[in-house]
Amino acid sequence: MMARYKEYNYDQMKMIPVAFDRQILPGSFEYSLSYLIDHELDLTSFDRHYRNDDNGRPAYDPRLLLKIIILAYSKGITSSRQIERLCRENITFMALSADTQPHFSTLADFISRAPEAITDLFSQIVLMCDQLGLIGKEMFAIDGCKLPSNASKEWSGTHAELKKKRQKIDRAVRRMLQRHQEQDNAELAPDIQAREKEQIKKLRAVSRKIKHFLDTETERKGISGKTVKSNITDNESAKMKTSHGVIQGYTGVAAVDSQCQVVVHAEAFGQGQEHGLLKPVLEGIRETFVDTASEKQLKKTQITADSGYHNREMLEYLEAEGIDAYLADTGFRSRDPRFKDHKSAKERNKRQDKERFS
């Protein structure tokens, strides 16, 4: 007996007609997103970024770019190059973008030059959710996570550390130049000479980059007023410990309403510790609802946060503002009688762990 399979042939063509308006189905996220941007949101704040009414080529409509970017974000895609690729290959993105296929640099530039306008859109959406009764304002839960930035932690350091790094690079350049002069008369392969010249060029560029940073930027100060490490590529980010090791990035904090899990405020902070971030988040929530009927109701809203936000300064702020907050105490286990017989985990022998499998 022999198995039989269906025949297939790649040497053929299938023409598939696609109606873009029929790809965005009612009830789907992309349909709601498109309707919200086209009919409900005020996007006039984006218009001031364009000066092409009399000359210059037409620009992409901000509504179109917003739809593409927010749909990509909802799927966990934040790379401009990947979003550009989706607009070429994914039917839903093709339909939502009307097959305009914007370049990745257009998408990146749109996000980077209009942060205030995008922040205003976030506030509009939160207030719209409030009008629809989706925000109960009975409890806001606050928590955060560590977000990596597009910067290397190797470029971090205090000004003194960066000066030492520059001096070290300059010494390396001088040694390479001296060795190059000594070998000029020797029979050295042309490819080796080219590599050394390229390396010298790179090191000099790095030295100039560090010098420019030191001349133009001031020392960063932490919450306590002490000097903290700066970063040449992204000076607003910070070096922080995570469960996956040390990263260069931000602490992203979000406040979520308990009724429908609507995010009422979100912000990224260039510091690793969370204990000083409760105050700016609460002030951000208040600013979102300022001059609305909901502002008075916020005084009755309960606030919850984990022990990372607990310290004396925050407790005094909450007491002074009369905010009904519930924060996990960093030392609650030591005072709770239920934990009096609790034994801490034995410290693991890392050397034995390494030698466990040979």
Which whole-number Å values give the CA distances from 51 to 43, 120, 204, 276, in the listed order?
16, 21, 39, 41
For 139-148+234-333, CATH gives 3.30.420
Tokens linked to 258: 């308990």
Low-confidence ranges of the chain (pLDDT < 50): none
Which is it for the CA torsion 243, 245, 246, 249, positive or negative?
A: negative
Which whole-number Å values give the CA distances from 39 to 29, 30, 42, 119, 246, in the listed order?
15, 14, 9, 19, 44
- Three-state DSSP at 347 gives coil
pLDDT of residue 197: 79
pLDDT of residue 357: 58
CA dist., res. 205 & res. 211, Å (int): 10
* Full-model pTM: 0.71
2-57 confidence digits (pLDDT tens): 898 999 899 999 888 888 888 899 989 999 999 999 988 888 888 877 777 777 78
CA dist., res. 155 & res. 104, Å (int): 26
Task: Please name the residues in contact with 271: beta carbons below 8 A apart, sequence gap of 6 or more.
Answer: 222, 223, 228, 238, 240, 251, 277
CA dist., res. 354 & res. 358, Å (int): 8
Q: Are 267 and 284 in contact (CB under 8 A)?
A: yes
Q: Are 110 and 84 in contact (CB under 8 A)?
A: no
Nearest to 213 by CA among 201, 226, 229: 229
